[in-house]
Amino acid sequence: MDFYDLDLNDSVLDALDAMRFETCTPVQEKCIPPLLEGRDLIGVAQTGTGKTAAYLLPILSRLADGGFPADAVNCLIMAPTRELAQQIDQAMEGFSYFLNVSSVAVYGGNDGVRFEQERRGLKLGADVIIATPGRLISHLAMGGIDLSRTSFFVLDEADRMLDMGFSDDILQIEKALPKERQTILFSATMPEKIVELAKTIMNDPVEVKIAVSKPAEKIQQSAYVCRDAQKVPILKQMFRETAPERVIIFASSKQKVKELNVVLKRHGFNAEAMHSDLDQKERDDVMLRFKNRQVGILVATDIVSRGIDIDDIQLVVNFDVPHDAEDYVHRIGRTARAGRGGRAVTFVNEKDMPKFRAIERFLEKTITRNPLPDGMTAPEEAAHVAGGKRRGHGQERGKRHDGRRRSGRNRQDKRPADQAQANAQTTKAEATSPQKTSQRPPRPNQRRHSPGKNDGNTSQA
């Protein structure tokens, strides 16, 4: 089913067009219609199924249709970790690209400056709050949030929140919400404690269960555990040894895409870059040359990880580890299509090892480690086996100093596609993008929201 077959608001469809999302994933196809009708919903789905778009798109569509207070928090989305909260916030940026919708991400950390930024953002107001339970409780205790008129309450990865001991926090937060609301719960599993929680906070929910999508078996997956400075030399050796005719290299940001493209050309490789600084005609020209084999190597952000219709890509290289399994599946899914085989190689530095292990857990397999070329020494992978939690390193780019994200329509130099994926969380988010004129009147002293990362495949936003 295509997104155009659903009763989504035109401005939401415009954003999906800009990000080249066309076909719904199963979870989106099953969840969006009842959510547009205002039904409570329980979705049993893993990361990588498109669940974020499955709830964000109908919520944003209903907000765009109007009828909600302009001075209230209309939607509260709860996530167990700051990483997931950041992903959702980035997805919100892309899907709300043509809407007058603002959001605040409230996800904690030890930085007092960050807390003050969040507090200011909450004070100024936002349509959507994306939060971790503990941090939201802190702001509620300080009287910084009024949830009495909230219309949408979302619990993403609810089973994980309960496993982390947030059950009491969730119930405390739920008491601050009005009884008349739409409640949406997503969980990878459906243990008894989730069933009991649903009975407590939900009203006659629709239940949707989606099987986990995995990469095609014909994809030969492998990885190099290496340092950043070793990536280009390894890449050059790979190309010279195997001479693949058509390759896509995914990098985490458009700046890295530009730099890598220059380096490859300098070393004699027939490469072109695809990123959000190109206008539509330039993108189409690059893609046409790639399809016609005039270009052998396409260096890209995740702008082309969805919806690209080329069946004979022999190699996909993840120059950086994707933020999560969803993005990994999207990226490597560009190879081994139409019954063909293909290879997917990922470069993993020390910092990205926790993310890579999370991908392996999702895939339920250990990805083969390739030996480094002679003369290279690998970083210590074992040091990161027990690691897991990443720590923040300062303020994200693309954020206002008050902690809020706003529409990129006031900026005239970007497009939404990359932002929805600044991959998803590259370690540095790409800057915000421009937008069209909103249908909803802006609030006093507010600017509008800008694009972010998505959760889906060809459609998996």
Residue 432 within a domain? no
CB neighbour class for 71 (10 Å; exposed up to 12, middle 13-18, buried from 19) = exposed
Examine the fold and report which residue of 331, 366, 384 is the final residue of a domain before the chain moves on. 384
Same domain, residue pair 192 and 305: no
- Please state at what angle helix 51-65 crosses helix 82-95, rounded to 10 degrees: 50
Same domain, residue pair 200 and 342: no
Residue pair 260/319 in contact by the 8 Å Cβ criterion: yes
* CA 211 vs CA 42, 198, 208: distances in Å: 14, 21, 10
Residue 436 within a domain? no
Same domain, residue pair 289 and 190: no
Same domain, residue pair 275 and 367: yes
**What residues make up the domain containing 235?**
219-384
Same domain, residue pair 178 and 224: no
Examine the fold and report which residue of 329, 357, 384 is the final residue of a domain before the chain moves on. 384
Residue 441 within a domain? no
Residue 434 within a domain? no
Residue 251 within a domain? yes
Residue 458 within a domain? no
What distance in Å separates the CA atoms of residue 359 and residue 327, rounded to the nearest whole number? 10
Same domain, residue pair 372 and 243: yes
Nearest of 88, 96, 93 to residue 398 by alpha carbon:
93
Examine the fold and report which residue of 384, 413, 429 is the final residue of a domain before the chain moves on. 384
pLDDT at residue number 402: 45
Strand order in the sheet with 128-131: 206-209, 41-44, 182-187, 152-155, 75-78, 128-131, 103-106, 404-405
Same domain, residue pair 170 and 248: no
CA 245 to chain CA centroid, nearest Å:
30
Same domain, residue pair 224 and 209: no
Same domain, residue pair 13 and 61: yes
Query: What SS3 class is residue 205?
Result: coil
Same domain, residue pair 194 and 143: yes
Specify the number of domains making up the chain: 2
| Tokens, residue 193 | 């404690």
* CA 141 vs CA 137, 152, 169, 173: distances in Å: 6, 21, 12, 11
> How are the residues of the chain apportioned to helix, strand and coil, as percentages rounded to the nearest 5?
40, 15, 45
Same domain, residue pair 350 and 331: yes
Residue 164 within a domain? yes
CATH of the domain at 298: 3.40.50.300
Per-residue pLDDT of the chain (461 residues; tens, 9 = 90+): 899 999 999 999 999 999 989 899 899 999 999 999 999 999 998 666 789 999 999 999 999 999 999 999 999 999 988 878 988 999 999 999 999 999 999 987 656 677 888 888 888 889 999 999 999 998 998 888 999 999 999 999 998 898 888 999 999 999 999 999 999 999 877 888 999 999 999 999 999 998 656 788 889 999 999 999 999 999 999 999 988 899 999 998 889 999 999 999 999 999 999 987 887 678 779 988 999 999 999 999 876 655 466 778 999 999 999 887 877 887 898 888 777 889 999 999 999 999 999 899 888 899 999 999 998 988 875 444 433 333 333 333 333 334 455 444 443 444 444 444 433 333 333 333 333 333 443 333 333 444 443 444 434 44
For 368, list phi and psi in degrees, rounded to 5: -60, 130
Same domain, residue pair 337 and 196: no
Residue 163 within a domain? yes
What distance in Å separates the CA atoms of residue 188 and residue 190, rounded to the nearest whole number? 7
Q: Which amino acid is at 64?
A: A
